[in-house]
């Protein structure tokens, strides 16, 4: 990409982030400056006392923390849900094996019973007496060979029956273990769900205490924080080093996320009408034919790490020290992401939040 065209695009992205995109407050759980301790923050109520910008900045930082904690809990909920779905599938598979094994065991028992009855009917005189009384020694020897083969077959049958019984016992133990894990993850889901709701409710209550004019001033503070972080990121010159081209799968993933612009954020959602941050990225790559982990933390852990300068459209940017947020890089210093409750899927600056890592699904 030429330097002149890159400068124009960079300027355009900066303007978009500063004027239009970030005009709808969409910062995601992160502040470019250190957050004060909980005891240092207060939630101004709608009283006759004017609310200063300092008060609103404290509110903004507190909202960041509340929505960040909600994002962490959402990741825990999504992880527990994914594990529960996997364990449910394993229990179903084991149940099918148990049904099949029981049918096989019944068949083996029937065959073993028939073999035992046949052996009983062929019993009687000892082999020496049968040989002495036989007019045709060869016929006797042929018959003895068939008896030996029958005995071997019966032993094999009994061995298979024993193995089948052992398999059934193991399937039952495995199913019991999976059921215990399933119940544990159901409890984890319930606990995470309660925490998500608590954090979001606290944030919504905090915002509801503001007057309309104060909410607009708060939104402007959010925009300023995002612009400041994005400008610092661009001023580092990093965009001059990024020149990666999207793969065919990457283009499909980018097309998917851009088609979702304007759709509401909803924690735990994977579309098609609402999304959370990792629900959006995982579904985008599923649409591109490349399944990836469901949560931002697992995407960070399992996908290949890429240096920022090697980033290309379709790569995922993981944000915050605890990997609690994820967005898709779409090129020219911009991302598409589902920010937080109360916001919609939006375009933003890639450097508007603290970057932890860049990961690549289509290695």
Q: Could you report the per-residue pLDDT of 116-154, keeping only the tens digit for each?
A: 666 555 554 454 444 444 555 555 455 545 555 555 555
Per domain, the residue ranges of the chain are: 53-207, 241-360
pLDDT tens-digit profile of 167-221? 888 888 888 888 888 888 888 888 888 888 888 888 888 888 888 888 888 888 8
CA angle, 227 as apex, 224 and 233 as ends, to 5°? 145
- Give CA–CA dist 305/136, Å, rounded: 82
From residue 124, how far is each of 121, 128, 130, 147, 246 by CA, in Å?
A: 8, 12, 9, 13, 83
Share of the chain above pLDDT 70, in %: 74
Catalytic residue among 62, 217, 325, 360: 325
Query: Does the pLDDT value for residue 92 go beyond 70?
Result: yes
Task: Determine the pLDDT at residue 143.
Answer: 53
Query: Tokens 């924690």 identify what position?
Result: 267
The class (CATH top level) of 53-207 is mainly alpha
- Give CA–CA dist 67/63, Å, rounded: 6
Mean pLDDT (the chain) is 78
Do strands 355-360 and 346-349 pair parallel, antiparallel, or not at all (unpaired)? unpaired
Catalytic site includes residue 68: no
Per-residue confidence band for 45, with pLDDT thresholds at 50, 70 and 90? very low
Q: Which residues fall within 8 angstroms of residue 11, CB to CB, at 6 or more apart?
A: none
Per-residue confidence band for 241, with pLDDT thresholds at 50, 70 and 90? confident
Helix axes 277-287, 248-259, angle to 10 degrees: 130
Among residues 182, 156, 19, the alpha carbon closest in space to that of 92 is found at 182
Task: Determine the pLDDT at residue 49.
Answer: 64
Task: Determine the pLDDT at residue 260.
Answer: 97
Please give the CATH architecture assigned to the domain spanning 241-360. Answer: Alpha-Beta Complex (3.90)
Per-residue pLDDT, averaged over 275-288, amounts to: 96
The pair phi, psi for residue 178, each rounded to 5°, is: -65, -35
Catalytic site includes residue 17: no
Q: What b/e sequence results for 142-168 when a residue is b if at least 16 CB atoms lie within 10 Å of its CB, and e otherwise?
A: eeeeeeeeeeeebeebeeebeebeebb
Catalytic residue among 68, 217, 312, 337: 337
Query: Does the pLDDT value for residue 26 go beyond 50?
Result: no
Q: Is 331 left (phi over 0), alpha (psi -120 to 50) or beta?
A: left
Task: Determine the pLDDT at residue 117.
Answer: 65
Stretch among 5-9, 168-172, 230-234, 281-285 having the lowest mean pLDDT: 5-9
Q: List alpha helices for 53-136, DSSP H.
A: 53-121, 127-133
Among residues 259, 214, 220, 237, the alpha carbon closest in space to that of 333 is found at 237
Share of the chain above pLDDT 90, in %: 34
Q: State the sign of the Cα–Cα–Cα–Cα dihedral 210, 214, 219, 225.
A: negative
Task: Determine the pLDDT at residue 145.
Answer: 52
Task: Determine the pLDDT at residue 246.
Answer: 94
- Give CA–CA dist 16/23, Å, rounded: 9
Per-residue pLDDT, averaged over 58-64, amounts to: 84
Higher local confidence (pLDDT), 120 or 109: 109
Task: Determine the pLDDT at residue 118.
Answer: 62
Q: List alpha helices for 290-343, DSSP H.
A: 296-302
Task: Determine the pLDDT at residue 189.
Answer: 81
- Give CA–CA dist 193/173, Å, rounded: 30
Catalytic site includes residue 337: yes
Higher local confidence (pLDDT), 25 or 121: 121
Catalytic residue among 63, 277, 327, 348: 277
Task: Determine the pLDDT at residue 43.
Answer: 45
- Give CA–CA dist 163/105, Å, rounded: 10
The pair phi, psi for residue 271, each rounded to 5°, is: 95, 180
Q: Which residues fall within 8 angstroms of residue 147, CB to CB, at 6 or more apart?
A: 122
Question: Which H/E stretch holds residue 191?
Answer: helix 137-208
Higher local confidence (pLDDT), 206 or 158: 206
Q: Bridge-partner residues for 275, per DSSP?
A: 265, 270
Higher local confidence (pLDDT), 114 or 244: 244
């Amino acid at each position: 990409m030429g330097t002149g065209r890159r400068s124009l695009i960079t300027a355009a992205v900066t303007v978009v982030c500063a004027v239009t995109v970030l005009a709808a407050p969409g910062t995601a759980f992160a502040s470019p400056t250190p957050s004060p301790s909980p005891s240092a923050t207060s939630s101004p109520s709608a009283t006759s006392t004017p609310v200063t910008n300092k008060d609103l900045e404290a509110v903004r930082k507190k909202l960041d923390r509340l929505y960040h904690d909600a994002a962490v809990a959402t990741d825990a909920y999504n992880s527990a849900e994914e594990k529960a779905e996997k364990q449910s599938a394993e229990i179903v598979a084991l149940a099918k094996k148990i049904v099949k094994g029981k049918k096989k065991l019944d068949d083996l028992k029937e065959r073993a019973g028939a073999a035992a009855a046949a052996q009983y009917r062929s019993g009687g005189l000892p082999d020496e007496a049968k040989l002495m009384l036989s007019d045709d020694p060869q016929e006797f020897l042929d018959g003895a060979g068939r008896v030996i083969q029958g005995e071997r077959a019966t032993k094999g049958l009994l061995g298979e029956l024993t193995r089948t019984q052992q398999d059934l016992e193991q399937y039952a133990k495995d199913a019991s273990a999976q059921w215990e894990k399933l119940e544990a993850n159901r409890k984890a889901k319930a606990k995470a769900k309660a925490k998500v709701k608590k954090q979001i409710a606290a944030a919504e209550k905090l915002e509801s205490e503001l007057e309309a004019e104060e909410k607009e001033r708060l939104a402007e503070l959010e925009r300023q924080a995002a612009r400041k972080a994005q400008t610092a990121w661009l001023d580092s010159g990093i965009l001059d080093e990024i020149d990666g081209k999207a793969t065919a799968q990457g283009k499909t993933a980018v097309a998917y996320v851009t088609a979702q612009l304007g759709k509401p954020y909803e924690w735990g959602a994977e579309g098609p009408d609402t999304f959370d941050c990792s629900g959006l990225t995982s579904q985008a790559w599923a649409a591109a034919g490349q399944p990836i982990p469901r949560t931002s933390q697992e995407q960070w852990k399992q996908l290949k790490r890429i240096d920022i300068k090697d980033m290309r459209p379709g790569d995922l940017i993981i944000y915050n020290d605890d990997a609690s947020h994820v967005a898709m890089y779409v090129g020219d210093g911009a991302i598409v992401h589902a920010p937080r409750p109360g916001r919609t899927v939006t375009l933003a600056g890639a450097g508007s939040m603290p970057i932890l890592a860049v990961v690549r699904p289509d290695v």
